[in-house]
Structures are given as C-alpha cells and as structure tokens.
C-alpha cells in the first residue's frame, strides 16, 4: 500500500501494509493501482498552476510536494499568512487536500508542512532550531537505511541530533545526514531549480562575465524581450505575465514579475515594464544568467483599429493600465461598477480597469454624496422621532445647526446576506448646515421599533 | 482700469510672452463652462485644455474635497474619453460622481500609497495621451512637479486637474504657494436657496478663480453641477449681478 485516504487510516490500515492484509482487515476495500508517473505528471501540472499564480520560482518536491520560493512574492498576496490561506483555500476548492508552511529553508519548510502545519504554518524569524527540534527524524528527507540506523542508536527527534558531534555521525552514515541537517538549518544553501514546462516560452542568456550595472541589465532585458516576442509571435500568443529570473554568482535567484491587463507582444512596451522594476533586483556580486519567461500567455490576433472611416478610433489605454498596475499593484487600479443594492457601501463594486463597459449606472432618485466615509462615523444629534431630520448634528467636535434637510430615505437590511439584517433599517437624511455644507447622515433603526437598530445617528457621506 | 478694449501694444506683448513660453494659443482648445458671466472673463472663453489646473475646496472642503471633486467631475464629464483619477484615500463615491455627469464606465481609479506616487501616476497618465482628463488628489504640489505635469499635459493634449486636498484645514495655506498651473480654482459651498416646501434645492458654490495665467481672477456664485456636468447661474444672482454690474459701470464712467 502506498497511499490511503483518511477514512481508510481510521479503520486501522497503514501505509506500507501489504494489500492482501488490508483486504482481509476491511472487506469490500476499494483498491486502485498506484500510478507514480501519472502522479508526477499531475504534480507538475499543479506546480505550473502555482507558478502562474503565486511565485516565479516553483519546483516539484517529489513525490508529494511542491516547493515555492516566495521571496518578493508574498506582499502581492497580502502577506505570508494570507498567501498560504488563499493558496490552501483555492486548492481545497478544486479538491486537493494540502498543507503548507513557510520557513527560512527548503528543508525546514518541508518538515514543518508535513509535521506541524494544520493546514498552514508560518515559522517566525529566529525560531528555526526550536521549531525543528521536536520533529521526528523522518522530517529530514533521509534515506530509509539512515533512518533505521539512527533509530537503532536511540535518536528519535531532530533535537537529539542537533548537539551531537558531527564526525562520528558522518563516519557512520556518510555525508548525507549532516548535509540534510545543515540544509534544514539554513547553514548551506539549497538552490531551487525552477520548473519550466515545455509549453512555457522561455529565453535565457548566460554571461561570461557576471553583470551588475542597472544599464547593462536593462540592455540585456531589451535583447531578451525582443527574442521572447519573436517566439510569442511564432505561436500566435501574447504574454499576460512575465517572469525575469536573475541567477546570481552566489546561486541566489532574484525574481521580477510583471503582469499585463491584455495579452501583449510589443517588445518596447514589455521592456519598459521590466526596466521600471530593475531597482528591485539586487545583483550582489553579479548576475550570471538572465532568463525571461512568459508564464501566462493568451491567444493574440491582429486586430483592426477602426472599422470604418467615420468611426473615431478608440484610444488604447492598456499600456497605461499595465504601467500603473505594475507600479502600485494590480488591485489598486480599478473601475467602479454598479451593484443592485440599496446599502451604499455595497452598491459599488470594483472591476478590472479594462473590462467591458457596464452601460448603466445607479438609480438617481436621490442625491448621492461624492465622498463616502470608509466607515459611518457616530455623531451626536437632536431629532424628533420617528421621521424628523435632526435639528443639529455634532461631528468631529463641531456642532452644526441644520438649516435644511431632506429625507428620510429608508434602506432595509439585506436579509439574504446576514441574519442580523433581517429586520435592520437605516433612515438616511441629507442635511445642510448654516454654512451650506451638506452631509449624508442616517439613523440606525426606524425610530419606533428598537429591534430595527440602535437608534444612534451616523454620518456617512459628504456632498459636493 | 479694465483692459477690455483691445490695446494693440498689450496684445502684441501678450503674443510675445506666449511665444516665449511656447504656448501658441492658436492651436489650443477651450472648454466653455456655458455660463456666459464666467466664460467672458476667462482667457480664451473657457477652461484651457491640455494644461494643468488646480482645484481646492474652501473651508472644511480643503479636507474632504467634496465640492472640488464634484467640480472636477463636471469638467471631466463634458469632455469625451476616459478619465484617470489618482487618489490616496479611497473615499470617492461613484454614484455621486455619476450625478455630476461622470459615469462609472469612464473613470479608472488608481489608488497610490502617497503623494509622490500619485503625482508619478498622474504624470504617466498625462504623458500617455489617450485620456481626456487626469485628476490627482494631492496635498503638496511643488513648482518643479507642477511644471513637469504642465509640460506633460501640453505635449499630449490631456487636461490635468490637481485636486488639492490636505489632512488638516490649517495646511490649506499651502494653496498660496506658486505653481505652474494654468488656473487655480477654489470651490466653497454656500447656503442654498430656500424652497417653499421642506427639502433641499440644488447646491450652491462660490467659485473663485484665484489665479489665471494672462487673465483676471473671478469670483462668482453658481449652482452646482447638474446631471451633465454643467454649472448654472442662480436665478436670483442673475438678476442681482445685472443690477450690480450696471451700477459699477456707471460708477466707473
């Protein structure tokens, strides 16, 4: 038996057991042939999926894992923990049970993912030894013979080995044991050879002399982009995501990732996007190899710009959107789109800047402010219940007399979203003070029934 | 002494200055406000396109920038094409902009971390040339930066609007510092006209043109943007200003 599901493990079966014994223990057991080559192929497909979405450096950690170098990629996903949560969430949605850990070294992450992660674990900086010490020796990726030998000597945990003299161990078990130990403890480097499947377009250039100056890097980026675009053109595709990997002399990989809103294969534009980010590459003692990969591509056909002489050509702003998105982050460039909701904070959705025009807006029966506070701010008021506007309001320490007011505009809670909103109500008023400033205030509750809200007043927006 | 009657010497000097600045007014387009009282006093009869303009709110509008953004949205709404709006705080409310005439399909918002990157995004948008208007909400705008932005706008023909917005009301004194902007506007809210029934009428602004290159400053009371981005002279003010203007003319002559 090479693998078993959790239900089978609960029945007392274990991995490594002969199939006949398992069948004797559990009548009607469903047995499938192990297919290591198909497993490896599907693991590689998964690695490619991760490569396109999470980080430019991903490799297969055979037989059942992936290793991701997330340096410089985690902040794009909102931090390490958020990145792992999103990754595991998306894997779970597609039916893959997975565990993930982030650590200083490949070895330690391998061990923590398999023995600590539930389902995620982020090792805090400086606690590498303490984290590894209680783990069993099998977490160290050692050959079975070494493991059983160590067991015979009474070693159970990694902590037992940490302070042992190295020489006798190496003499007995060979250099592999101490090498694995050092790799897990981040004392020797363990480079990750990034996965590059055959269908991904990649161009690379090795240098006889390591390069370091920004101008030199920019020049070679230009050359690589030109070659990449030729290859993309041959295949009739455009790049949606580009990865530039720079192998340094000290075997470190520096990465640079660029996203595009629409498939592109214009060398000038791609070069510009990449060159804007050169400052994020730290060349160290020099760069030996530069490799440029289009990890995500989409079909790109030649298009006519204007279909008739009468038609005004529409300005193409995808280049601008790409530059801005790569500068401030793809999530920070957006367009507004209407959502059918009366609750103001839910009425606006953010969509990609180059989506098709929505074509309609919001209903304009009532005036809407130009500024909406991120959260409604509580204010002091005096108002007649149940449906009179306030006589004065006091916001941020300034008391304003209400000169004119309009309302109420009643907004009911959306019962299909949360139970708490089944009965909740907001009454919105537009009020104008002595100076002419207009505010959008609301009362939580309908003014009669205390179940509908706290009857406290809030300021939600400012009119222009 | 009003410089209305065309004096050939002054006109020649103006043309010379414009040539020195590299701004020939012949190929420049202007966007009229469709308020004759305001357009008549603006050089060129409207807002110069392909330039940098500055807009700020008066009073507490310096902090929230609500009226100023409505004014900018009204200008953008009357120009065809996409609009780039660079912000640091994400408190823009799209339904409000739509009521000033600027629909959601036309606005691309860029949320940048600080003033420096907002200005960089604005410059990028101005240089691109495919946009109609680039609006940027910034607190500080130095002479050097504004000059860069103005040149970028001039090159591409895209209109730039620097919407000045400060953290505190006291910081608004910064608005007095010189910049390379073509015009500088301050939009303050005024009490609106009273209706015979309970309710609120169209908002009313005091639109002050504090500075205009080769032009005079103006302050005028107007009604806020309607659904197409147009301003309007309030009915009572229209009557009053005719009377007042008549009185002044008689005083001068």
Q: What is the pLDDT of residues A279-293, one digit of tens each?
A: 888 888 999 999 999
Mutation target for A interface from B81, B94, B234: give the one with most A CBs within 10 A.
Answer: B94
**pLDDT for the residue numbered A280:** 87
- What does the pLDDT read at residue B246? 43
Phi, psi of A118 (to 5 degrees): -140, 75
User: Which residues of chain B neighbour A464 with C-beta distances below 8 Å?
Assistant: 66-71, 96, 100, 203, 224-225
**Three-class HEC string of chain B:** CCCCCCCHHHHHHHHHHHHHHCCCHHHCCEECCCCHHHHCCCHHHCEECCCEEEEEECCCHHHHCHHHHHHHHHHHHCCCCCEEEEECCCCECHHHHHHCCCCHHHEEEEECCCHHHHHHHHHHHHHHCCCCEEEEEECCCCHHHHHHHHHHHHHHCCEEEEEECCCCHHHHHHHHCCCCCCEEEEEEEECCCCCCCCCCCCCEEEEEEEEECCCCCEEEEEECCCCCCCCECCHHHHHHHHHHHHHHHHHHC
Residues from chain A that touch B89, judged by Cβ atoms under 8 A, are 374
Domain end position, chosen among A255, A283, A299: A299
Among A267, A283, A299, which residue terminates a domain? A299
Q: In chain B, positions 182-201, which contact chain A (CB-CB < 8 Å)?
A: 189-192, 194-195, 198-200
Q: Please check whether residue A392 lies inside any domain of the structure.
A: yes
Residues 6+ apart with CB under 8 A from B149: B52, B119, B122, B123, B126, B160, B162, B180
Beta-bridge mates of residue B188: B206
Are both A408 and A456 inside the same structural domain?
Answer: yes
The shortest CB-CB distance from A373 to any of B68, B91, B121 is to B91
pLDDT at B249: 39
Number of domains in chain A: 4
Find the Cα–Cα–Cα–Cα dihedral B145, B149, B154, B159, rounded to 10°.
-140
Q: Are residues A128 and A205 in the same domain?
A: no
Residues of the domain holding A428:
371-462
Residues A54 and A158 in one domain: yes
So what's the pLDDT on residue B123? 94
Q: Measure the CA–CA gap between A100 and B245, rounded to whole angstroms.
A: 77
Same domain, A53 and A117: yes
Q: Which domains does chain B have, with CATH numbers?
A: 27-192+201-252 (3.40.50.300)
Chain-chain contact of B81 with A369 (C-beta, under 8 angstroms): no
Query: Within this chain, do residues A268 and A205 fall inside the same structural domain, yes or no?
Result: yes
Please indicate, yes or no, whether residues A172 and A44 belong to a single structural domain of this protein: yes
Mean pLDDT of chain A: 87
Cis peptide before A386 (omega within 30 of 0): yes
Set of chain B residues whose Cβ sits within 8 Å of the Cβ of A461: 93, 96
Span of A440-444, B23-27, B53-57 with lowest mean pLDDT: B23-27
Q: Which residue of B has its CA nearest to A376?
A: B91
Upper half-sphere CA count for residue A100 (Cβ side, 13 Å): 23
Residues in chain A: 464
Residue A413, SS3?
Answer: coil
- Asked whether residue B56 carries a pLDDT value surpassing 80, the answer given is yes
Question: Does residue A307 belong to any structural domain of this protein?
Answer: no
Per DSSP, A350 falls in state E
Nearest CA-CA distance, residue B7 and chain A, Å: 41
Residue the block writes with tokens 């408190």? B91
State how far residue B145 is from chain A, nearest Cα, in angstroms: 19
**What is the model's pLDDT at position B248?**
41
Q: Please tell me the distance from the alpha carbon of residue A295 to that of residue A49, in angstroms, as a whole number.
A: 10
3-state secondary structure of A197: coil
Residue in B66, B100, B112 nearest the CB of A371: B66
Rounded percentage of chain A residues whose pLDDT exceeds 90: 26
Asked if residue A151 and residue A48 are part of one domain, the reply reads yes
> Which of B105, B191, B225 lies nearest to residue A435, judging by beta carbons?
B191
Contact B94/A362, CB-based, under 8 Å?
yes
Position B252 confidence tier, pLDDT thresholds 50, 70, 90: very low
ipTM of this predicted complex? 0.86
| Residue A318 lies inside a defined structural domain of this protein | no
Q: Do A436 and B191 touch (CB under 8 A)?
A: yes
* DSSP assignment letter at A136: B
Q: How far apart are CA B244 and CA B110, in angstroms?
A: 45
DSSP H/E element including A112: helix A106-115
Q: How confident is the model at residue B118 (pLDDT cuts 50, 70, 90)?
A: very high
The answer to whether residue A267 scores a pLDDT higher than 70 is yes
Using the predicted structure, report yes or no on whether residue B173 has a pLDDT greater than 90. Answer: no
Tell me what pLDDT residue A305 has.
63
Q: Which of residues 166-185 of B touch A (CB under 8 A)?
A: none
Check CB contact under 8 Å for B104 and A335: yes
Q: Is residue A436 part of a domain?
A: yes
Q: Which residues of B touch A318 (CB under 8 A)?
A: none
Residues of A in contact with B68 (CB under 8 A): 464
Which of the listed residues A184, A212, A247 is the one where a domain comes to its end?
Answer: A184
Shared-domain flag, residues A178 and A216: no
Rounded average pLDDT over A150-165: 87
- Which residues in chain B are closer than 8 Å to A327, comparing Cβ atoms? 112, 117, 120-121, 124
pLDDT digits (tens, 9 = 90+) for A25-41: 888 888 888 888 898 88
Are residues A40 and A95 both part of a single domain?
Answer: yes
Residue A72: inside a domain, yes or no? yes
Q: What is the pLDDT of residues B8-32, one digit of tens each?
A: 888 888 788 877 776 655 567 899 9
Q: Are the CB atoms for A381 and A390 separated by under 8 Å?
A: yes
Closest CA to B214 of B57, B69, B15, B6: B15
Cβ-contact A181, A146 below 8 angstroms: no
∠ CA A418-A423-A425, nearest 5°, is 100
State mean pLDDT over B214-219. Answer: 87
C-beta of residue A457 within 8 angstroms of C-beta of residue A381: yes
Q: Is the pLDDT of residue B3 over 80?
A: no
Q: Is residue A109 part of a domain?
A: yes
Q: Using CB atoms, which residue from B64, B71, B131 is nearest to A462? A: B64
Q: Does B42 touch chain A (CB under 8 A)?
A: no
Q: Say if residue A139 is in the same domain as residue A48.
A: yes
Does A372 sit within 8 Å of B200, measured CB to CB? no
Cβ distance of B70 and A370 shorter than 8 Å: yes
Residue B241 has pLDDT above 80, yes or no: no
Say yes or no for a CB contact (<8 Å) between B96 and A464. yes
Distance from CA of B221 to the nearest CA of A (A): 13
A164 in the same domain as A50? yes
Same domain? A101 vs A83 = yes
- Give A316-357 pLDDT, tens digit per residue: 888 899 999 888 888 899 999 999 998 999 999 999 998 888
Which letter does DSSP use for residue A320 in this model?
Answer: H
Q: Which among B97, B120, B195 has the least Cβ separation from residue A370?
A: B97
Helix then strand then coil, in percent of chain A rounded to 5, is 35, 30, 40
Greater confidence (A87 vs A196) lies with A87
Which pLDDT score is estimated for B152?
Answer: 93
Q: Residue A274: helix, strand or coil by DSSP?
A: helix
A338 falls within a domain: no
Which of B90, B190, B227 is facing A436, going by the closest CB pair?
Answer: B190
Tens digit of each residue's pLDDT (9 = 90 or more) over B197-211: 888 999 999 999 999
Q: How far is CA A69 from the centre of its chain?
A: 13
pLDDT at B4: 56
* B130/A315 touch (CB, cutoff 8 Å), yes or no: yes
Q: If you average pLDDT over residues A208-231, what whole number do you get?
A: 92
User: Which residue among A333, A368, A435 places its CB closest to the CB of B96?
Assistant: A368
pLDDT classification of A426: cutoffs 50, 70, 90: very high
How far apart are the C-alpha atoms of A189 and A455, rounded to whole Å? 63
In a domain, A347, yes or no: no
Instruction: Please report where in the chains the tokens 């993309």 appear, as a residue.
Output: A232
């Amino acid at each position: 038996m090479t693998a078993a599901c959790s239900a089978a493990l609960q029945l007392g079966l274990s991995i490594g057991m002969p199939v006949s014994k398992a069948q004797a223990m559990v009548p009607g057991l469903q047995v499938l042939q192990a297919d290591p080559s198909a497993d490896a192929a599907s693991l590689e497909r998964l690695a490619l999926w991760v490569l396109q979405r999470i980080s430019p450096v991903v490799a297969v950690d055979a037989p059942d894992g992936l290793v991701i170098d997330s340096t410089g990629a985690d902040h794009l996903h909102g931090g390490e923990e958020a990145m792992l949560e999103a990754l595991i969430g998306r894997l779970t949605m597609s039916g893959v049970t997975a565990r993930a850990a982030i650590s200083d070294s490949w070895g330690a992450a391998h061990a923590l993912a398999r023995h600590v992660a539930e389902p995620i674990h982020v090792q805090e900086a400086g606690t590498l030894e303490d984290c590894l010490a209680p783990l069993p020796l099998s977490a160290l990726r050692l050959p079975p013979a070494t493991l059983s030998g160590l067991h015979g000597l009474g070693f159970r945990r990694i902590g037992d080995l940490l302070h042992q003299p190295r020489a006798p161990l190496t003499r007995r078990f060979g250099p592999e044991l101490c090498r694995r130990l050092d790799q897990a403890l981040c004392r020797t480097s363990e480079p990750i050879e990034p996965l590059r499947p055959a269908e991904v377009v990649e161009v690379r250039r090795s240098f006889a002399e390591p390069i370091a100056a920004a101008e030199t890097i920019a020049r070679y980026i230009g050359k690589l982009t030109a070659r990449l675009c030729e290859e993309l053109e041959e295949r009739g595709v455009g790049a949606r995501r580009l990865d530039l990997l720079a192998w340094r002399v000290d075997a470190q990989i520096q990465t640079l990732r660029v996203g595009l809103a629409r498939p592109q294969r214009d060398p000038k534009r791609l070069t510009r996007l990449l060159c804007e980010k050169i400052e994020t590459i730290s060349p160290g003692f020099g760069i030996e190899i530069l490799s440029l990969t289009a990890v995500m591509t989409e079909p790109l056909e030649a298009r006519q710009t204007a279909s008739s002489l009468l038609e005004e050509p529409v300005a193409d702003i995808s280049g601008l959107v790409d530059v801005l998105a790569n500068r401030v982050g793809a999530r920070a460039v957006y367009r507004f789109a209407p959502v059918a909701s009366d609750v103001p904070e839910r009425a606006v959705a953010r969509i990609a800047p180059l989506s098709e025009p929505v074509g309609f807006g919001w209903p304009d029966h009532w005036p809407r402010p130009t500024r909406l506070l991120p959260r409604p701010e509580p204010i002091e008021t005096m108002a007649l219940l149940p449906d009179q506007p306030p006589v004065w309001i006091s916001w941020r320490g300034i008391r304003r007399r209400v000169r004119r007011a309009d309302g109420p505009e009643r907004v009911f809670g959306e019962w299909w979203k949360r139970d708490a909103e089944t009965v909740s109500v907001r009454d919105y008023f537009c009020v104008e003070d002595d100076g002419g400033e207009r505010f959008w205030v609301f009362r939580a509750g309908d003014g009669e029934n205390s179940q509908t809200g706290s009857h406290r007043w809030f300021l939600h927006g400012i009119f222009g | 002494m009003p410089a209305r009657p065309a004096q050939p010497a002054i006109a020649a000097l103006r043309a010379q200055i414009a040539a020195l600045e590299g701004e020939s007014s012949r190929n420049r387009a202007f966007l009229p406000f469709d308020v004759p009282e305001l357009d008549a006093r603006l050089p060129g009869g409207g807002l110069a396109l392909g330039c940098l303009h500055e807009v700020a709110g008066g009073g507490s509008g310096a902090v929230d920038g609500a009226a100023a953004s409505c004014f900018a949205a009204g200008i953008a709404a009357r120009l065809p094409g996409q609009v780039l709006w660079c912000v640091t705080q994400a408190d823009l409310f799209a339904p409000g902009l739509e009521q000033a005439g600027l629909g959601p399909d036309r606005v691309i918002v860029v949320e940048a971390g600080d003033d420096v990157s907002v200005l960089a995004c604005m410059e990028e948008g101005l240089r691109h040339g495919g946009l109609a208007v680039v609006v940027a909400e910034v607190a500080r705008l130095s002479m050097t930066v504004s000059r860069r932005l103005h040149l970028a706008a001039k090159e591409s023909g895209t209109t730039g609007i620097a919407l000045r917005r400060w953290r505190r009301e006291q910081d608004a004194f910064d608005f007095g510092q010189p910049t390379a902007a073509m015009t500088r506007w301050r939009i303050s809210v005024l009490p609106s006209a009273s209706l015979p029934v309970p309710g609120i009428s169209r908002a009313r602004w005091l639109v002050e043109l504090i500075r205009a290159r080769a032009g005079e400053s103006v302050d005028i009371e107007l009604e806020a943007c309607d659904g197409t981005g147009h301003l309007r002279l309030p009915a009572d003010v229209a009557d009053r200003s005719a009377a007042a203007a008549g009185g002044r003319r008689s005083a001068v002559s």
